[in-house]
Structure 1
Amino acid sequence: MKNIFADERLLSLGVVNGTTGRDFGSMRVFENQNAVFAKVGVNPAAMLRFHQVHGDRVVEINTDADFENAKNSLLNADAWLITRPATGAVILTADCVPFYIWDGEVKVVGLAHAGWRGVVAKLPQKMARLVKEKGGKDICAFLGPHIQDCCFEVKDDVVGNFLPSSVIRKDGKIFVDLRAEVRVQLLAEGLQQENIHTPCFCTCHNKDMFFSYRRDHTKDAIMSFVYKIN
């Protein structure tokens, strides 16, 4: 069975979402993306894409004009923030963190591509702040499958970017827990611990389930998506 890893809370609120497993094929192939959209009942024409640059730029889709601009231009960015109904967006990852965020009434839904550089730039915290600025309350977050601390090895020139509490040293190697970094950022913005879900799916460790750039050094990618119905 082909797997889509979704947040059930978000599904229950009427927002189609999920991250694909590698059994759907590489999501750099548009035909494979469309097969996923057909499976979940989403019109591909409603799904937006951008050019990911490992930064912290957020594209807001609030109006029809915002939608058309994003549809007709390949913007450089790493996160979506959607209030417009009947709007969806995708990101591609191959170890980076697919980061979902929304308010209790799903007036605002966000999806970000958060690599380690995006996490260091505090993109998750920026997203939480933007949701609050739009009046969002009871904010929830979900981290899709990404590289975990069992496999995310870094060198001395990188480790200084992270909190000491997120760093694990063992057998002469240095590993970083990106989930812990994201949780700290979200708690700082007032999210409740119980509203932050961070499942332990490691893209690098689970070769049969996910593509991983760190493991395979290929450009094959999985896809995360949201579709805000209302």
Structure 2
Amino acid sequence: MIEASGLSSISGIRHGFFTREGGVSDGIYGSLNAGFGSSDDGARVAENRRRIAAQLSVDADRLLTIHQWHSADTVHADKPWNVRQPPEGDAVVTDRPGIAVAVLTADCTPVLFSSGDGQVVGAAHAGWKGAIGGVLGSTVARMKDLGAKDIHAAVGPTISQLNYEVGPEYRAQFVERDAASERFFIPSAKPEHFMFDLPGFVRTRLDDLELASIEDTALCTYADEQRFFSYRRTVHRGEGDYGRQLSAICIKE
């Protein structure tokens, strides 16, 4: 479990960017795969999530993920739900102690949030579609609706620019929205292709929200196979599926 120093300094909360280590799954899912959306054995995923919940000191049925679909939708978790049939969204917030809000990633950017007093927390899944579509602003707005002030953010492990090659049509979607986005793309070795700085883009979107602080773990999921699952690494190897790591935050009871 990786912690951000800024969030760790806020009393009354627990958080963690969990790695792929310390679970019971094997093969391409080895070992702490937390995604029921994978083809891993469901009982093993449930045990992995139970272990994560225990590290956060919450009950396993109060470790809440959502059905992520690369949107800007934010869900308010005011009570537990069935994580096998969760609500749709790409961010989840709560003001209820003992509920851990969480997102699953395997290259996309997880961002954890807390108000300065630790009374409102949130987790966002910022893939490129969600990041460009406003999921981070949506998360902060929903937290403010719940009374959050002096919001702090931490950016978790995600794919780095060095390992994220994209085509010209991808770059065009960013530049057409904002010409300044061109700075997040550098030419790759492949003609008319680019290397995209997803974490840099996410940090800039967070900067626009005028938060109290932003911390970046600066860890690459693609490069560090021992600690992280990576969707893109799986595709490059021709593997049929991939595991998901979980990032979570909660208010202590």
Which residue of the partner structure matches residue 57 of structure 1? 73
Which residue of the partner structure matches residue 178 of structure 1? 198
Cα 1:35–1:133 change in 2 (3 A) is closer
Aligned to 1:101, the other structure's residue is in SS state strand
Give 1:133 shift. Answer: 4.0
1:187-229 residue CA offsets vs partner (Å, 9 max, x unmatched): 222225xx11112100011112111010013321111111211
Q: Aligned ranges for residues 77-116 of structure 1 at < 5 Å?
A: 77-116=89-128
Of residues 120, 129, 137 in structure 1, which corresponds to 2:141? 129
Give 1:161 shift. Answer: 2.9
Q: CA RMSD in A?
A: 2.0
Which residue of the partner structure matches residue 6 of structure 1? 3
Paired with 2:21 and 2:143, the residues of 1 have a C-alpha distance of 33
Aligned to 2:205, the other structure's residue is in SS state helix
Check whether the contact 1:153–1:176 (CA below 8 A) recurs between aligned residues: yes
Aligned to 1:67, the other structure's residue is in SS state coil
- TM-score, L = length of structure 1: 0.87
Identity %: 29
Opposite residue 27 of structure 1, the aligned amino acid is A
Which residue of the partner structure matches residue 43 of structure 1? 59
Of residues 184, 196, 202 in structure 2, which corresponds to 1:166? 184
Aligned to 1:22, the other structure's residue is in SS state coil
The number of residues matched between the two structures is: 221
Cα 1:83–1:152 change in 2 (3 A) is same
Give 1:41 shift. Answer: 2.9
1:49-95 residue CA offsets vs partner (Å, 9 max, x unmatched): 2211111111012xxxx415566952111110111222112221111
Opposite residue 14 of structure 1, the aligned amino acid is G
| Structure 2 residue 151 is matched with structure 1 residue 145 | no
Check whether the contact 2:75–2:92 (CA below 8 A) recurs between aligned residues: yes
Paired with 1:60 and 1:46, the residues of 2 have a C-alpha distance of 13
Larger mean CA deviation between 97-106 and 176-185 belongs to 176-185
Of residues 27, 34, 44 in structure 2, which corresponds to 1:27? 34
Larger mean CA deviation between 198-207 and 121-130 belongs to 121-130
Which residue of the partner structure matches residue 243 of structure 2? 220
Check whether the contact 2:58–2:99 (CA below 8 A) recurs between aligned residues: no
Larger mean CA deviation between 46-55 and 143-152 belongs to 46-55
1:26-55 residue CA offsets vs partner (Å, 9 max, x unmatched): 223111111222244332122222211111
Aligned to 2:110, the other structure's residue is in SS state strand
1:147-196 residue CA offsets vs partner (Å, 9 max, x unmatched): 1111111111111233112222243440111222222222222225xx11
Which residue of the partner structure matches residue 17 of structure 1? 15
Paired with 1:176 and 1:108, the residues of 2 have a C-alpha distance of 32
Aligned to 1:18, the other structure's residue is in SS state strand
- TM-score, L = length of structure 2: 0.80
